[in-house]
Amino acid sequence: MDNMKAAIYNGNSLKIENIKKPMLKDSQVLVKVKSVGICGTDIAINNGHLKTPTPIILGHEFSGEITEVGSNIDPTIIGKRVTSEINSNIDFSCYFCKRGLFSQCESRKALGIDINGALAEYIALDDYLIHDIPDNLTYEEATFIEPLAAAYQVFEMMPKESNDKILTIFGLGRLGLLITQVAKQLGFQLICVDKSEKKLALAQKFGANFMINSENENEVVQEIRDLTDGLGSDIVLDTTGNPDALNEIIKSCRTRGKIHIKSTHGLNVPINLTDIVVRELKIFTSRCGPFEKSIQGLYTGKIQVNDLISRQYELNEIYAAFKSYENKDIIKTLINIS
Ligand SMILES: [Zn+2]
């Protein structure tokens, strides 16, 4: 069959449509999608906060099986279980590519954001994007490889220094809970902030030292200062993408400390720059990360992801799957495609 089902965002709403299967270029592989994680970015696009070309197939955290290959690709890889990086259409020739910074390539198009993504039965992928999934990982677990790489990237961009002892994480979605686990292995003392008791309990299971429920606690900043001899946290990291949280994050950070921002979801954020300047805070950001490290973290069992899977749906239940995130206890919702 040359047709496939896909979840298409048309600029207003998300609909399942029957469309043509993608055509393969010579250096591409066709992947039959098995499982897709819904990300905050997908939600932000569907809410109209993050603008993309439309119509577009969303989805960029996924796993699947290679079913066809282009003429330049060794056909013996058909049948392999793979996941994919997000940054497609790399030119390998621009300023950034020449320095190995492919995720900043000037020609790059992000799957499911700039060009069609994986919430479909099939996706065509440039061959350099794919990574084998180790045999001991399920397709569902493998959907965490992309976000876990982003969790490792936090510490690629902001390597731990001798004064970096206390890390505070605002927001315990799947990214916050992955960063919690990576940070624990790096030896941080961890303060975790979220509205969900369920997520805070998981952070504790993953080794967080102090949990603050921001729904019950009005004085989150004061609480963090109380836990840090009145100084504030050495590093404060935001995964919430919530503009209101960012000024609290600045206030929670120790003078000469570090702020790390993971999510913006296309929102404009007014922040207190004076406080950042006067107290000489450093601002870090990070995006996509090293897949090899991420795959290794999952393969060796150092990073646990099964507790992070909150709900699983089929492709034609896409609306319910997106809606599930309105529940503050939902960490990760997967779409499984059979
Ligand atoms: Zn480039």
Distance 10 CA to ligand 1 centre (A): 29
Cα–Cα dist 16/32, whole Å: 17
Distance 236 CA to ligand 1 centre (A): 32
For 26-62, write each residue's pLDDT tens digit: 999 999 999 999 998 899 899 888 899 999 999 999 9
For 199-246, write each residue's pLDDT tens digit: 999 999 999 999 999 998 889 999 999 999 999 999 999 999 888 888
The burial class, CB within 10 Å (0-12 / 13-18 / 19+), for 76 is: exposed
User: Is residue 322 predicted with pLDDT exceeding 80?
Assistant: yes
Distance 26 CA to ligand 1 centre (A): 20
Cβ–Cβ contacts within 10 Å for residue 334, how many? 24
**CATH architecture assigned to 3-143+304-336:** Alpha-Beta Complex (3.90)
Q: Where in the chain is the domain with CATH 3.90.180.10?
A: 3-143+304-336
Cα–Cα dist 98/322, whole Å: 39
CATH of 151-285, one of 3.40.50.1100, 3.40.47.10, 3.40.50.2000, 3.40.50.720: 3.40.50.720
Distance 88 CA to ligand 1 centre (A): 10
Distance 87 CA to ligand 1 centre (A): 10
Cα–Cα dist 160/80, whole Å: 37
* CA-based nearest residue to 248, from 219, 285, 282, 228: 219
